[in-house]
Amino acid sequence: MATKILLFFITLVVLFIITTQQNFPTSYRLERAFPVKHPIPISELIERDTFRHRRLLQQSGVVDFPLEGDSDPYHIGLYYTKVQLGTPPRDYHVQIDTGSNVLWVNCKSCNGCPTSIRQHIPVEFYDSSSSSTSSLITCSDSLCSQASQWSECSKSKCTFRFQYGDGSGNSGYYVSDLMHLNTMGVDSGSSNSSAKVVFGCSTSETGNIRTDGVNGIFGFSQHSMSVISQLSSQGVAPDSFSHCLVGSGNGGGILVFGQIMDPNMAYTPLVQSRPHFSVNLQSISVKGQTLSIDPSTFSIPGNQEGTIIDSGTTLAYLPQDALTLLKDAISQAVSQSAQPVISREDGCYIFTSSVSSIFPLVSLNFQGGSSMHIRPQDYLLQDNSKGGAEVWCFGFRSYLTPGPTVLGDLVLKDKIIVYDLGGQRLGWSDYNCSSSVNVSSTSSRGRGGSSTSFPMLILASILQYAFNI
């Protein structure tokens, strides 16, 4: 009995220390939102509840961007979506690009910007003077210093100059304005919200970027200047996003802020401290047989970039040695069923059966033991038919000079791809991207089990022990 009293006294002391040092109140005073003697019209109560429900809906909802376009280089060869910027909001069709850092759109008085678009979508030029919520990013702004790698100061304006892998480029200056977001709620309803974002205003363009047929590029890298990083830091969006690209028919798909959930998801860690979404590709298998490729082959010598996952690239790129071994293994597997087209240097085959019944499954094996299985349609491109026979060519390419391993839309289509910035991992799962998806809008950094503090766990243990003696 004396032991119980002693333990109970110790418990009271611990409880006193916790509540005083952590400023925990021992009682709470509740007050009515509306006084009893002052009746509130039912319409005002409904309006108040509706506002609260809308706020809850936005907190648990998911921002989504319907996609158009396809992965066929003979047709469109890119995926794009519509963003709304400014006040009043105006529509801009932009390519989704996980290999670029920022969002930028064509601006008024642009030199070299397209005046017509082959996808038959409206040509739109951003005009900061027509938006009441637009403001210029100056050289002293912290975001300008964060973009110092490709920005500079010009007449107090924070300017940028981008150069892309195909030799094209653009330049302009940064502005801040409202981005309008469509939020899908748990009850399948939708609501609108907006948030301030910094993006590029392009005033000059050169090269292929002029003919890509969109109003700009929607960059989704891990850099702090990307829209997903900006919105995540504001608490407007989770620290992850996902896309599902339809590979057949008219293409299209969906991009969401959050993680598309699927029970068959596989994950691999992201390469640390890289702006792009890079992973460690360790081997390639054909029909379950691993090719003799040194894992270091997939990285540029002296560069720890790894394999880049890039929705802005149409095809896929491997080092020459790895590509040669892959082509040889596939050629050997189909030697009895498909005839090589000798006149074609890019590795083409002619045959009369279906491509999936002849060509083998290829597996890309990543760090952590997860594999991405790619079908023949994910590494071959259909060319013109000849006399009733089909011609398919390799969609994987190699660089003339050493370059990074890049997996583009050819490989990424018909899969859920999850970019988990908070958890620093990449996820994927084969999926019919024309179907509906389940999305979690929980931030990875906010995950975890119980939030019970360590002192309270000690207190609980003391109480349990005291009253079980």
pLDDT in tens, the chain (469 residues): 555 555 455 555 444 444 444 444 434 444 444 454 455 555 554 454 444 433 433 444 688 999 999 998 888 889 999 999 999 999 999 999 999 999 999 999 888 887 776 667 788 999 999 999 999 999 888 888 877 666 788 778 899 998 877 778 899 999 999 999 987 654 555 667 899 999 999 999 887 765 567 899 999 999 889 999 999 999 889 999 999 999 988 899 999 999 999 999 999 999 988 888 999 999 999 999 999 999 888 876 666 678 999 999 999 999 999 999 999 999 999 988 888 876 566 688 999 888 999 999 999 999 999 999 999 999 999 887 777 788 899 999 997 677 789 999 999 999 999 999 999 999 999 999 999 999 987 766 644 332 222 233 333 333 333 434 4
Residue 34 forms part of a structural domain:
no
Q: Are residues 245 and 272 in the same domain?
A: no
Q: Are residues 123 and 232 in the same domain?
A: yes
Tokens coding 455: 């002192």
Q: What is the pLDDT of residue 116?
A: 72
Q: Are residues 228 and 100 in the same domain?
A: yes
Residues 6+ apart with CB under 8 A from 80: 67, 68, 69, 93, 94, 95, 96, 119, 121, 214
Collapse the DSSP code of 60 into the 3-class scheme (helix H, G, I; strand E, B; otherwise coil) and give the result: helix
Tokens coding 253: 């798909």
The answer to whether the Cα torsion of 375, 378, 380, 386 is positive or negative is positive
> CB 208: neighbour CB atoms within 10 A?
12
Q: Are residues 215 and 290 in the same domain?
A: no
Tokens coding 160: 């940028």
Provide the angle, in degrees to the nearest 10, between the axes of the packed helices 2-21 and 454-466.
Answer: 160
Q: Are residues 110 and 177 in the same domain?
A: yes
Residues 6+ apart with CB under 8 A from 221: 98, 99, 100, 101, 275, 276, 277
Based on the residue annotation, tell me whether 127 is a catalytic residue of this protein. Answer: no
Catalytic residue among 310, 378, 409, 414: 310
Based on the residue annotation, tell me whether 420 is a catalytic residue of this protein. Answer: no
Q: How far apart, in whole angstroms, are the C-alpha atoms of residue 176 and residue 141?
A: 11
Q: Are residues 206 and 270 in the same domain?
A: no
Write the DSSP symbol of residue 271: P
Report the CATH number at residue 378: 2.40.70.10
Q: Are residues 250 and 278 in the same domain?
A: no
Residue 10 forms part of a structural domain:
no
Residue 441 forms part of a structural domain:
no
Q: Are residues 325 and 388 in the same domain?
A: yes
As for how many domains the chain has, the answer is 2
Backbone angles phi, psi at 436, to 5 degrees: -70, 160
Residue 358's domain spans which residues?
263-430
Q: Are residues 129 and 71 in the same domain?
A: yes
Residue 396 forms part of a structural domain:
yes
Catalytic residue among 97, 177, 212, 262: 97
Proportion of the chain in helix, strand, coil states, percent, rounded to 5: 20, 35, 45
Q: How far apart, in whole angstroms, are the C-alpha atoms of residue 122 and residue 111?
A: 18
CB 173 within 8 A of CB 154: yes
Q: How far apart, in whole angstroms, are the C-alpha atoms of residue 203 and residue 195?
A: 24
Residue 468 forms part of a structural domain:
no
Model confidence, pTM = 0.79
Residue 43 forms part of a structural domain:
no
Q: Are residues 242 and 268 in the same domain?
A: no
Residue 437 forms part of a structural domain:
no
Q: Which of 254, 278, 302 is the last residue of a domain?
A: 254
Residue 385 forms part of a structural domain:
yes
CB 350 within 8 A of CB 389: yes
Tokens coding 222: 């891990």
Q: What is the pLDDT of residue 121?
A: 78
Q: Which of 254, 283, 301 is the last residue of a domain?
A: 254
Q: What is the pLDDT of residue 2?
A: 56
CB 160 within 8 A of CB 147: yes
Q: Are residues 80 and 229 in the same domain?
A: yes
Q: What is the DSSP string of 105-159?
A: EEEEEEES--SS-TT------B-GGG-TT-EEPBTTSHHHHHTTTTEEEETTEEE
Q: Which of 222, 254, 286 is the last residue of a domain?
A: 254
Q: Are residues 279 and 227 in the same domain?
A: no
